[in-house]
Amino acid sequence: MNEGSKKTIKTLCFAVLGMFTFSFALVPLYNVFCEVTGLNGKIELRATSNKNIEIDNGRDISIQFVSHNNEEMPWAFKPSEDNIQVKTGKYHTATFYVKNTTNKRMVAQAIPSVAPSNAAAHLKKLECFCFEKQELAPGEEALLPVRLIFDDELPSSINSVVLSYTIFDVTDYNDIEFAQHDSEHHANHEMEPSI
């Protein structure tokens, strides 16, 4: 076999390895891409660090809250109010009611999603129950708060936003680190569910 062939083979083997690596690199790339652009309605699972985004003359936005249970998740989970009116640049707090309807201790994780997806980048949360896993004893219930603000750069075409939470049973995944928060925020937003 001549030198040219050997070189071609080597290049091609590298290309194969490179593309295999690339397929795994797509996972973080996809998450970063979705987070940066807010596509897919993905929003950051961490508290906003910028607290100086409050303004006085914001415009009216209607938020609809939606709750889902993933697969066979047996908990009761629903927003306290289905619909609230907020102003951009003002903090608002909403709550979700949750109850462990089973007779065993369970851990849950809520995952948010925003529609329309281009609103996601402008929705900031100071605190959210979705930053943490929620552990409830059998029959225990709780009101889970989310404190949120729309920054003033929310596109003017958007007057109403849907904020949806899906609650997952993560009892079996309990030891796996879930939300991507720094330890600093972890300390600040530790909150025990209480009624």
Partner 1 sequence: MSAVIESHGHDDHHHGPAKGLTRWLYTTNHKDIGSLYLWFSFAMFLIGGAMAMVIRAELFQPGMQIVEPEFYNQMLTLHGLIMVFGAVMPAFVGLANWLVPMMVGAPDMALPRMNNLSFWILPFAFFILLSSLFMEGGAPNFGWTFYAPLSTTYAPPSVTFFIFAVHIMGASSIMGSINVIVTIMNMRAPGMTLMKMPLFVWSWLITAYLLIAVMPVLAGAVTMMLMDIHFGTSFFNAAGGGDPVLFQHIFWFFGHPEVYIMILPAFGIASHIIETFSRKQLFGYASMVWAMASIAILSFVVWAHHMFTVGLPLAAELFFMWATMLIAVPTGVKVFNWVTTMFKGSISYETPMLFAIAFVVLFTIGGFSGLMLAITPADFQYHDTYFVVAHFHYVLVPGSIFSIMAAVYYWIPKWTGNMYDERLGKLHFWLSFIGVNVTFFPQHWIGLAGMPRRVPDYALQFADWNMISSVGAFLFGASQILFMYIVLKTVMGGKKATPQVWEGSRGLEWTVESPAPYHTFTTPPKVN
Q: Which residues bind partner 1 (CB under 8 A)?
A: 1-2, 4-5, 8-9, 12-13, 15-20, 22-24, 26-27, 30-31, 37, 39-41, 70-71, 109, 111, 117-118, 166, 168-170, 173, 176, 178
DSSP 118-160: GGGGGEEEEEEGGGS-EEE-TT-EEEEEEEEEE-TTS-TT--E
In this structure, are residues 170 and 75 in contact, taking their beta carbons and an 8 Å threshold?
Answer: no
Nearer to partner 1, 21 or 85 (CB): 21
In which element (H, E) is residue 29 found?
helix 3-37
Closer Cβ to partner 1, 71 or 190, answer by number = 71
The residue among 95 and 117 lying less far from partner 1, judged by its C-beta, is 117
Contact 114, 161 (CB under 8 A): yes
Structure token digits, residue 110: 């809520």
In angstroms, give the least distance from the CB of 151 to partner 1.
Answer: 19
Residue number with CB closer to partner 1 (41 or 79): 41
- The whole-angstrom separation of Cα 91 and Cα 177 is 29
With respect to partner 1, which residue has the nearer C-beta, 67 or 86? 67
Nearest-approach distance from CB 21 to partner 1, in angstroms: 8
Least Å distance, CB 81 to partner 1, is 25
Q: How far is the CB of 144 from partner 1 (least distance, A)?
A: 18
Q: Tell how far CA 146 is from the center of its chain.
A: 12
Q: Which helix (H) or strand (E) holds 86?
A: strand 83-87
Q: How far is the CB of 5 from partner 1 (least distance, A)?
A: 4
